[in-house]
């Protein structure tokens, strides 16, 4: 039995956008229609996991940065256990230092690669850590105020994430000041380092 | 796997994205303080992860598991699941895996295999290398809850 063809509808797309797409599809050896269809399907999927379409490029960049720096996926349950409350003071300090160092490496790389490192970092944080309900960055005079909120983070997990952010700030050329954290909330101001 | 889809699947499977140097270091610390408990947590995570394949996969849960795990663990020189009639073997080579991380990852795979109905009969784990041999037919694993420990 012949398959019924899919219905099609006309959607207007700015001419200059179509010209750019045509250039890409010529190089790739595919059609403009297929390219647009693929991109729109990706946009629907991005929306379904709670991101905006503006995040599409950032997601690709996050994956790229993670690949370069040696990223991997780990079960959240494992993270919660490892950062758990049954650590002695020495182990807590060791863990916090490791998260700070890792953040510093991450921040240093972002500083080298992106024009607005702090904005990029906050965007990356929101994509990497889907256990965070909110990551906001507000210009506050000469400094930037960063706020992270999570309803699922433990106190210990919040402390480690705070250290990672502090390390990243240092790597990006900022000093973290007015640091505060309570279970599920991190607040800090990022001041540019003096030249 | 398509990158955007990778994030979606990881999120659904309860995985979080981070830098591997942190995980490797944390594995060392947890193994020093409580190796058995750490292995149990990783094993439970493996059971949890693979249970969905056991329920959702149309026939070839092992291949689906292998494909998605390969996507989750970047820069893995070798990650192979070989399936016989009643046997399954796992071969993982990653020179960056420390001994502790290899032990914990082996526990994760053991849990995953058990969720798919395989029982591990032998294992060789050393720094950067994990080999498991399992046989079919044992009862499927369920995550160990706190109340049972």
Provide the residue ranges of all domains of chain B, joining segments of one domain with +. Answer: 2-136
**pTM for the predicted model, two decimal places:** 0.75
Residue B130, classed as helix, strand or coil, is strand
Which of B4, B96, B108 has the CB atom closest to A59's CB atom?
Answer: B4
Residue B48 and residue A77: Cβ atoms within 8 Å?
A: yes
CB atoms B18 and A105 under 8 Å: no
Q: Which residue of B has its CA nearest to A126?
A: B17
Cα separation, A117 vs A73, whole angstroms: 23
> Has residue A76 got a pLDDT over 80?
no
pLDDT at A185 over 80: yes
CA distance linking residue A80 with residue A98, whole number of Å:
16
Residue whose C-alpha is closest to residue A173's, from A107, A106, A96, A98: A107
Instruction: Quick: pLDDT tens for A107-137.
Output: 999 999 888 899 889 888 888 887 888 999 8
**Is the predicted pLDDT of residue B118 greater than 90, yes or no?**
yes
Q: What residues in B contact A131, CB-CB < 8 Å?
A: 16
Interface test with B, best of A62, A76, A82, A150 (most B CBs within 10 A): A82
- Measure B40 CA to nearest chain A CA, in Å: 10
The CATH code for residues B2-136 is: 3.30.1380
pLDDT band at A41 (very low <50, low <70, confident <90, very high): confident
Closest CA to A106 of A187, A164, A162: A164
């Amino acid at each position: 039995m012949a398959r019924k063809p899919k219905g099609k509808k006309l959607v207007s797309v700015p001419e200059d956008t179509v010209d750019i797409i045509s250039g890409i599809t010529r190089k790739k050896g595919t059609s403009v229609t297929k390219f647009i269809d693929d991109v729109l399907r990706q946009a629907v999927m991005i929306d379904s996991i709670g991101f905006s379409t503006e995040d599409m490029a950032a997601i690709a960049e996050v994956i790229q940065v993670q690949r370069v720096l040696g990223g991997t996926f780990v079960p959240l349950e494992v993270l919660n256990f490892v950062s758990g409350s049954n650590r002695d003071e020495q182990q807590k300090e060791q863990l916090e230092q490791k998260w700070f160092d890792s953040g510093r490496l991450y921040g240093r790389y972002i500083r080298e690669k992106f024009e607005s490192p702090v904005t990029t970092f906050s965007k990356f944080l929101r994509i990497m850590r889907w256990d965070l309900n909110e990551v906001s960055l507000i210009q506050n005079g000469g400094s930037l105020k960063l706020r992270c909120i999570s309803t699922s983070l433990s106190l210990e997990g919040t402390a480690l994430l705070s250290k990672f952010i502090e390390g990243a700030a240092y790597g990006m050329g900022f000093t973290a000041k007015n640091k505060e954290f309570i279970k599920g909330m991190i607040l800090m101001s990022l001041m540019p380092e003096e030249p | 796997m398509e990158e955007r889809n990778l994030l979606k699947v990881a999120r659904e499977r309860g995985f979080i994205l981070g830098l591997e140097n942190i995980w490797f270091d944390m594995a060392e610390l947890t193994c020093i303080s409580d190796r058995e408990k750490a292995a149990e947590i990783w094993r439970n995570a493996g059971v949890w992860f693979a249970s969905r394949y056991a329920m959702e996969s149309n026939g070839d849960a092992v291949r689906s598991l292998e494909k998605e795990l390969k996507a989750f663990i970047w820069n893995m020189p070798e990650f192979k699941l070989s399936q016989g009639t009643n046997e399954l073997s796992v071969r993982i080579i990653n020179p960056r895996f420390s001994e502790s991380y290899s032990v914990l990852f082996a526990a994760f795979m053991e849990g995953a295999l058990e969720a798919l109905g395989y029982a591990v009969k032998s294992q060789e784990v050393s720094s950067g290398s994990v080999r498991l041999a399992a046989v079919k037919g044992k009862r499927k694993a369920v995550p160990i809850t706190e109340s049972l420990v």
